[in-house]
Amino acid sequence: MNLIENIKNLPEPKKTYLEVLEVHNKEVPIANLLAFFFRDKEIHGLKDLFIKSLLKTKFYELDVKNHPNSTGTLISLVSSEKEQEAILNSISNIKVKTEVKTSKDINDNKRIDILIDTDRFVICIEFKINHKLNNPLETYQNHIVNTYKNFTKHFFYIVLTPVKKEADIPNIKNYLEKNEIFKQVVFSHFIKNIQNEFPQNFKENSSFQYYNDFVQTVQNREIRHKRRLLLEKVNQSFLNKKIDSAYRNNSKGGFIQVNKHNYLFKIRIENKKFQIEKWITKKDKSILETPDLDTNFDEIIRIISNYTQIK
């Protein structure tokens, strides 16, 4: 079996409960689950952990042409360090709503996915799972400004996504070029912040199964996404080349093995990264040259391509 076929035939990650119910690709059920954890008085007992973790998560500018990299954490958007500290240490009167209508017109279907209202700040979250970023962000902003015009609060505008997205339609692009209001936050970065602050006894809480299933659902999406990208890269680079490869199963989830003369590569696709090991055979003995090299798609293709050209 060649390399392309091996990638196509990788075993699927274990299905979660959300995937069994076929709601893992639907924004409303996932938004409702997130809202449950954003509410500080729910039975999960995590209080404001999810909100604090979100504010501490790094963001990306949606106008990627002018801002290609992350530029800070959400809380850093508040100019004063003293005010930042005050916000994180005194989050109170938390109200969380989903599917918030931006107009009283019953025919107007524009809705904010998640709206978090506290004494000091408001968080407006546009939640994107599958679809392209083509939402009326300016309408959401105007709704927030008009709703809270008599309040002195900080506003955080977030597009929460599994992977980085770009604006898809001209009027959204134009809005983002003129306004640096909405920031993009990647799911896995948010989740990592939450896990870093978990109380020791949370696994004993009945709500942990909801959280664990949610996280695994996000990770499964990331695994599948990375496999698609790797397959695209391999197709582009090796479509007409015969490469000796095989899938090897093991307790860690398995790996793709690529062979060429005295060289052997093991490619692993994990939840949050790719790993590649390079082995070389000398005197009938395999020696590990580069263990667990965290790398990207282009680097994997470059490494394999260099050695597959050896005659």
Which domains are present in the chain? 3-12+227-308 (no CATH), 47-198 (3.40.91)
Residue 56 has pLDDT above 90, yes or no: yes
CB contact burial 112-140 (16+ within 10 A = b; e otherwise) = bbbbbbbebbbbbbbbbbeeebebbbbbb
In this prediction, residue 10 has a pLDDT band, given cuts at 50, 70 and 90, of low
What whole-number distance in Å separates Cα of residue 95 and Cα of residue 241? 58
- pTM of full prediction above 0.85: no
In this prediction, residue 311 has a pLDDT band, given cuts at 50, 70 and 90, of very low
Check residue 258 and give its pLDDT.
75
Higher pLDDT, 196 or 289: 196
What whole-number distance in Å separates Cα of residue 32 and Cα of residue 142? 24
Please give the single-letter amino acid code of residue 133.
Answer: L
Mean pLDDT score, 294-310: 61
What's the angle, vertex CA 177, arms to CA 173 and CA 181, rounded to 5? 100
What whole-number distance in Å separates Cα of residue 9 and Cα of residue 29? 30
Pairing of strands 285-295, 263-269: unpaired
Orientation of helix 208-238 relative to helix 187-196, angle to 10°: 140
**pLDDT tens-digit readout, 238-264:** 555 666 667 676 655 567 777 767 777
What whole-number distance in Å separates Cα of residue 224 and Cα of residue 228? 6
In this prediction, residue 293 has a pLDDT band, given cuts at 50, 70 and 90, of low
Check residue 112 and give its pLDDT.
94
The set of residues, in sequence order, having a beta carbon less than 8 Å from that of 146 and lying 6+ positions away, is none
**pLDDT tens-digit readout, 90-147:** 899 999 999 999 987 777 778 999 999 999 999 999 988 766 777 888 899 999 999 9
**pLDDT tens-digit readout, 143-186:** 999 999 989 999 999 999 877 766 666 777 777 777 788 998 98
